[in-house]
Structure 1
Amino acid sequence: MNAVLTPSPRRPIRELPDELISQIAAGEVVERPASVVRELLDNALDAGATQITVRLLAGGVRLILVEDDGVGIAREELAIALKRHATSKIASLQDLEAVNTMGFRGEALAAINSIADMSLNSRTDAADHAWQLDGRTGELQPAARARGTTVEVRELFYATPARRKFLKTDATELAHCIEAVRRHALVRPDVGFAIWHEGKLAEQWRVCAGSAAHTQRLADVLGSEFADQSIDVLYESASRRADGRPAVRVWGRAGIPDAARARADQQFAYVNGRHVRDKVLTHAARSAYQDVLHGNRQPVYVLFIEMDPARVDVNVHPTKIEVRFRDSREVHQAVHHATHNALAQPRSGAALNTPADSDAAAPSSSLEFFKQNRPAAQSEWAQPAINFVASGGHRVADFEALWPAWKGTGNAADPAGAALAAGAEANPGHRTTSSDAAGPAEQGDWPLGRALAQLQGIYILAENAQGLVIIDMHAAHERIVYERLKSQ
């Protein structure tokens, strides 16, 4: 029996108290401690900080302290900074439509102050000393510190205890906080970051300088394995802005197929320096890997998209994690071409086999490379400058040599191939297989076996002494070319 809902008595329309309005806004902006860390990092970077220190207790639930060496906040502006919709980032609709700062709404500090115990400690170059503002009482008093700002947030969600029940363990919340700092660290190698938890240094990334600053920061944050198994990405669209710069510029690094992971936890996309999650960017990058990644394997990449701020709307989500492009197709094509072109170079083998002064166009795929570099008068397959020899001493045969019964060719260096060819001439109607000519001893010389069929244009079905072998031809080719590039 369904319960009957009785309508509640009508209530008059009235304005909400300011504190309740801020708490509602906080529910949109602050989901967990990592949300606070992200907002405070945005403000620190907008202030021109070169060193940012984050201190946490209990995964950020008991304490979040973010200290920077930016320009600071003047004494008379400290109290205003905690008011709703108070910001120095924008002053008009034109500024909002072309915002180029990390923060711009002026809601973060007010929202955080409404659900936690908060204080601001800041000093500018012109001030004799710092000033500290208590967010609860509004009391302002002198303090000591160098130029910059310290924001201290204690007992997150103490004013809304129900929200605390949705938080995870301290370890989980700490991991989210570290991830928030990592996302900022990847795009700003000119800034040093340090994370302390319970008085212990959890992570630290020092300032990187020079032409290889971004590459060094990627290696520091994501590990040397990512740096070793990724390639540079650079693409500029043909269309130009009024100032002559490309309408869309994409750069960064994309992981080779061998670096793919089971989870999409190393996919970072930035639009004008802002980390975003966008389906257009994700689909564009993923589509560039469609020929070399299969199943649920996820590519790894760090891509930076630069474009006219007026052509992207960042004011579509309270946490600023989503954006809307004026021309999604243009951005999609730019990201796809940038990633695909970067992956095409090692796939094609042009770096190994095409002279520097050659006018020949690079093959567009692995299959094209095989066709262009296959020896015309021989049945063996050997890429130029790479000698592929199986464990038994036999060269790896060309695809045509794997089915010589149809091609009518043989090779003295390949007894099985010669036998197959002879059998085909003696009995054209008989479809000879590798097992007709090669016994278990000869098959043992081929660790991956002899090819029987090609499946879906992706896999090779082979047979060896132990049984059937399924080979991903794209992944095998990528591994061969990658190992060759490493050895040079």
Structure 2
Amino acid sequence: MPIRQLPDILINQIAAGEVVERPASVVKELVENALDAGAMRVDIDLEEGGVRLIRIRDDGVGMPPEELPLAVSRHATSKIGSLDDLEAVATLGFRGEALPSIASVSRFSLASRREGDAHGAALQVEGGHVGEIMPKPHPRGTTVEVRDLFYNVPARRKFLRAERTELGHIEEWLRALALVRPDVELRISHNGKPSRRYRGDEDLFSGARLVETLGREFADAALRVEHTAAGLRLHGWIAKPAYSRASADQQYLYVNGRAVRDRSVAHAVKQAFADVMYHGRQPAYVLFLELDPTRVDVNVHPAKHEVRFRDARLIHDFVYRTLHAALADTRAGQAGEPAAAGGAFAASPAATQLPDWSRPMPQSNLALRVDETRAAYAGLYGQTGPEVAKGQDIYGSQASPRMDGAIDDAAALVPPLGYAVAQLHGIYILSQAADGLIVVDMHAAHERIGYEKLKTAHDGEGVRMQPLLVPQTVAVSEREADVAEHEAATLAELGFEVSRAGQHSVLLRGVPALLAHGDTEALLRDVLADLREHGESLRVRTARDALLSTMACHGAVRANRRLSLPEMDALLRQMEATERSGQCNHGRPTWAHFPIAEIDRWFLRGR
């Protein structure tokens, strides 16, 4: 068959195969055009999951009549005019392919009017054949109708799913849009009935928008993240580790306002949560990454789902370190305040200076507060008789002679996890906080405390290398051998002494001392793979942490061990001072809080 020029309609249909995957793809492209036109309200009308009808109406700037045919022409756009514009593109759409591609596989109509024009204009496109411009009454803005999607490409139509499934994809994309553009009002109807409305005029960090999109449970578990460094800004929300998902259905990443998927950033987030997430669970987050547009290429995917960073290694490290530090600050008893804007996350000094909780607490100001508060509780419960007079509180413990503190003053001194009142079944510590009951899994809590102490001690020493008596030749791929050769200094920091031995092999002369008895060859291969794909590797740290976690588990207090009240209080104070103490080493929660109002509801008090 001789080489020949393809017809325009066939070219558009081929492009539609890349741009128009399903009705949600159409909604995405059309709504993004509306936002680029300055719309503050967008109405989305759907029928049969978008297959029968997609109508997008906006209140943007509109178009003049003579530009309507250009809008459905390939590679015609108002958003870029030069290579410089493309390299720093800030609009959501820019390729000039969406409208002609959509129009080639549907019955398509376009109507628009600018402010000040006497009337609007409309254009019909049937299967790629462009009709005549016709006058039409229309408010300011643009309306696009897409009917009978893939009516002329039956093979593509067969791949569409059930109506409910296609509608679900549209609703999910609109949810992602609502998170990043809370200033825009979105009204969605399906089969003639209103189905969803996202109110406009809201701030990016509006709690109302977060509840509206992801629900109250996520909003209550969300921690604010805000960090700026090296010309990068990361802000948004991460859910507390105790709030986790079975799937990645609540993971939203935006780069300069564009919803994207990026393997490097996803890997960084996963690594940041590795130390606090229960096995097999997925973190939930809404993160906005902002950087100079020239440092990111958004023109690498036909549907603009992916981007390419010019310095992916820096981005990965920035995201990982930001979230890792934010999660480190989730101590038990904290309400989850956001990190300071623009500041670096810093570990609390108390986290590395933890007392030995197994010893009785010293008679310090804290100990006096314990005694004063217990005395105040005794007064609240009416226990002011002989027990207290003899120097014992209502728990049977020896009380301090300083028992003249006022009840209100004592309550104000109650720390976040309160003071222990009892041990339940030799497993749980019950503690009375200022506003309710705290229940602590003592083994899980002590396990995390010991684990963090071991990590702190080991971090102070750095990764020590243990030379091998007999160097080992390790078979690797050529690309991995190249990485080993070029990243020798990085490998040395991780505890490996490696040199290239051949095209497909390296010579291993030293390994991380703490992991010397493990499968160091497999670990090295994994590290090389990480360095090749992400520019850095946390494999050594992960393997080391797994070993330290096991050591901490064996050293933690066991169930059914009787603890005195001072010992329980000391454990509570350490939890408040220890990083990540809200979860055990395996990601399970270490404590739970029951507000007094909730307890009142158990017993129908006040009803």
Identify the TM-score tier after normalising by the shorter chain: 0.7 to 0.9
Query: Following the alignment from structure 1 to structure 2, what is the Cα–Cα distance between the partners of residues 306 and 392?
Result: 51
Matching of residues 8-23 of structure 1 within 5 Å: 11-23=1-13
Q: Deviations over 1:242-290 (max 9, x none)?
A: xxxxx11000000001111100000000000000000011011111111
TM-fit CA distance, 1:161? 0.9
- Separation of aligned partners in 1, 2:334 and 2:240: 16
Q: Supply the distance in 1 between the matched residues of 2:121 and 2:205 (Cα, whole angstroms).
A: 35
For 1:46 and 1:214, how far apart are their aligned partners in 2? 23
Pairwise mapping of residues 51-450 of structure 1 onto structure 2 (< 5 A)?
Answer: 51-136=41-126, 137-210=130-203, 213-237=205-229, 239=230, 247-347=231-331, 362-363=347-348, 369=351, 372=354, 374-375=356-357, 377-378=359-360, 385-386=416-417, 387-388=419-420, 389-391=422-424
Residue 473 of structure 1: aligned partner: 584
Q: CA deviation at 1:349?
A: 6.2
CA positional deviation for 1:15:
1.0
CA-to-aligned-CA distance 1:211-261 (integer Å, 9 cap, x gap): x65433122111111110010001101x3xxxxxxx110000000011111
Aligned-partner SS, 2:56: strand
Cα deviation per residue 1:301-328 (whole Å; 9 max; x = unaligned)?
Answer: 0000000000000000111000000001
For the 8 Å contact 1:55–1:197, the answer to whether it is kept is: yes
Give me the whole-angstrom Cα distance separating, in 2, the residues matched to 1:397 and 1:147.
62
Secondary structure in structure 2 of the residue aligned to 1:231: strand
Q: Which stretch of structure 1 is more off in the superposition, 113-122 or 127-136?
A: 127-136
Distance 1:125 1:379, change over 3 A: same
Alpha carbons of 1:477 and 1:262: their partners in 2 closer, same or farther (altered >3 Å)? closer
Identify which of structures 1 and 2 has the higher relative contact order when contacts are C-alpha pairs closer than 8 Å and 6+ apart.
Answer: 2
The percent of aligned pairs where both chains have the same amino acid is 47
Contact residue 251 and residue 338 of structure 1 kept, 8 A: no
Alpha-carbon RMSD: 3.3
Aligned partner of residue 134 in structure 2, secondary structure = strand
Report the residue type matching 1:473 in the other structure: C
Q: 1:318 corresponds to which letter in structure 2?
A: P
TM-score (norm 1): 0.75
* 1:480 counterpart letter in structure 2: W
Q: Report Cα offsets for 1:6-28 as digits up to 9, x if no partner.
A: xxxxx111111111110000000
1:427 alignment counterpart: none
TM-score (norm 2): 0.61
CA separation of 1:197/1:477 partners in 2, compared to 1, >3 Å: closer, same or farther?
closer
Distance of aligned partners of 1:176 and 1:476 in 2 relative to their CA distance in 1, 3 Å threshold: closer
Superposed CA offset, 1:345-390 (max 9, x none): 22376789xxxxxxxx6348xxx84862554742899995522432
Task: State the alpha-carbon separation in 1 of the partners of residues 137 and 557 from structure 2.
Answer: 72
Contact 2:251 2:285 in 1 (8 A): yes
- Report how far residue 461 of structure 1 moved: 9.2
Contact 1:54 1:67 in 2 (8 A): yes
Shift, 1:473, TM fit:
2.2
Q: CA offset at residue 341 of structure 1?
A: 2.4
Q: Which one-letter code corresponds to 2:120 in the other structure?
A: A
Partner Cα distance (1:221, 1:289) in 2: 23
Aligned residues: 400
Q: How far apart, CA to CA, are the structure 2 residues paired with 1:277 and 1:226?
A: 21
* Residues 249 and 305, structure 1, Cα contact 8 Å, conserved in 2: yes
Q: Which secondary structure does the structure 1 equivalent of 2:317 belong to?
A: helix
Q: Which amino acid aligns with 1:12?
A: P
- Closer, same or farther: CA 398–328 of 1 in aligned 2, 3 Å: same
CA deviation vs aligned residue, 1:61-100 (integer Å, no higher than 9, x gap): 0100111111111111011100000100000011001100
1:4: which partner in 2?
A: none
**Partners of 2:150 and 2:442 in 1: how far apart?**
67
SS of the residue corresponding to residue 118 of structure 1 reads: strand
Matched AA of 1:150: T
Distance 1:343 1:17, change over 3 A: same
> Is the CA contact 1:33–1:177 (under 8 Å) kept in the aligned structure 2?
yes
Long gaps (5+) in structure 1 = 1-10, 240-246, 353-360, 404-453, 466-470
Name the amino acid aligned to 2:218.
F
Shift of 1:296: 1.1
Q: Separation in 2 of the partners of 1:385 and 1:101?
A: 47
| Contact 2:242 2:583 survives alignment (8 Å) | no
Question: In 2, Cα distance between the equivalents of 1:339 and 1:303?
Answer: 10
CA contact (8 A) 1:347 1:481 kept: no
CA contact (8 A) 2:333 2:416 kept: no
* In 1: Cα distance, 2:321 partner to 2:360 partner: 36
Report if the CA contact (8 A) 2:425-2:560 is conserved.
no
Distance 2:591 2:442 in 1: 16
CA-CA distance at 1:208 after TM superposition:
3.7
**What is the distance in 2 between the residues matched to 1:342 and 1:146?**
48
